[in-house]
């Protein structure tokens, strides 16, 4: 039984087109990698997608260093982490996610893709999206491969993402889904009672076409 998916989002297409255009101009995007990749959590946005969404049109602006220092350090470390916003995955994990990804490396999927996404693990004051205790995640799956399942975790109350590295023991599983049919937009509802303030929503997307697992850190502020 498949769960429900949503129709394509014009905003997602706009951001995607902007990313591709900018990448062509500066010659940074590795086309082969991008063709093999699929998607990301776009709301509340995963770290690299969030940095692309807000700075992809102006990523060389030195003002970013003061206005958005966590995205600044990510762009300086590896711009391809943003241009390849849809490629933060590992293959052949066989469902053993904790064995594949060490503590402190959850946001980079265990330093996947040769370390392209390592800056996502940097501890600091990342831009956070305001959400309620009952919230909805949106996956933009560019290649429409669907999902075997999603696992949605939220950090435990008392964890401070601005000063602490993320460990598996910091997370509480708040939702595990069934399968989703291929679609470009998939919405996943979840609930995290008792949370207030800053947290990380950590999402695992097990894609359906291969043993390919995606890992996303979304910075949030529970209102």
What is the count of structural domains for the chain? Answer: 1
Range of the domain at 131: 2-222
Three-state secondary-structure class, residue 51: helix
pLDDT digits (tens, 9 = 90+) for 151-179: 999 999 999 999 999 999 999 999 999 99
Residue 22: pLDDT over 80: no
Phi and psi, residue 38, nearest 5°: -135, -55
- For residue 44, is the peptide bond before it cis, meaning its omega torsion is within 30 degrees of 0? yes
Least confident window among 26-35, 86-95, 146-155: 26-35
Task: Give me the half-sphere count of Cα atoms (radius 13 Å) on the Cβ side of residue 201.
Answer: 37
The torsion defined by the Cα of 121, 186, 90 and 171, in degrees rounded to 10, comes to: 50
pTM above 0.85, yes or no: yes
pLDDT value at residue 38: 86
CATH number at 102 reads 2.70.50.50
pLDDT value at residue 23: 42
CB 19 within 8 A of CB 75: no
Residue 144: exposed, middle, or buried by beta-carbon count in 10 A (0-12, 13-18, 19+)?
Answer: middle
pLDDT value at residue 215: 98
Closest by CA to 145, choosing from 12, 19, 38, 6, is 38
Least confident window among 24-28, 33-37, 92-96, 198-202: 24-28
């Amino acid at each position: 039984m498949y769960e429900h998916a949503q129709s394509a989002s014009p905003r997602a297409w706009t951001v995607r087109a902007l990313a591709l255009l900018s990448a062509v101009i500066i010659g940074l995007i590795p086309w082969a990698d991008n063709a093999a990749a699929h998607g990301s959590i776009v709301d509340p946005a995963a770290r690299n997608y969030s940095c692309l969404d807000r700075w992809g049109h102006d990523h060389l602006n030195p003002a970013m260093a003061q206005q958005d220092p966590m995205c600044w350090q990510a762009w300086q470390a590896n711009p391809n982490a943003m241009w390849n916003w849809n490629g933060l995955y590992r293959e052949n994990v066989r469902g053993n996610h904790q064995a594949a990804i060490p503590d402190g490396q959850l946001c980079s999927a265990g330093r996947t893709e040769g370390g392209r996404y390592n800056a996502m693990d940097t501890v600091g004051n990342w831009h956070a999206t305001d959400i309620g205790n009952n919230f909805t995640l949106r996956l933009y799956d560019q290649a429409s491969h669907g999902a075997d399942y999603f696992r949605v975790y939220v950090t435990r109350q008392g964890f401070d993402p601005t000063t602490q590295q993320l460990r598996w023991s910091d997370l509480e599983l708040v939702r595990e889904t069934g399968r989703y049919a291929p679609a470009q937009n998939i919405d996943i509802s979840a609930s995290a009672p008792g949370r207030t303030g800053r947290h990380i929503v950590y999402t695992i997307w097990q894609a359906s076409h291969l043993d390919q697992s995606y890992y996303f850190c979304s910075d949030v502020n529970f209102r």
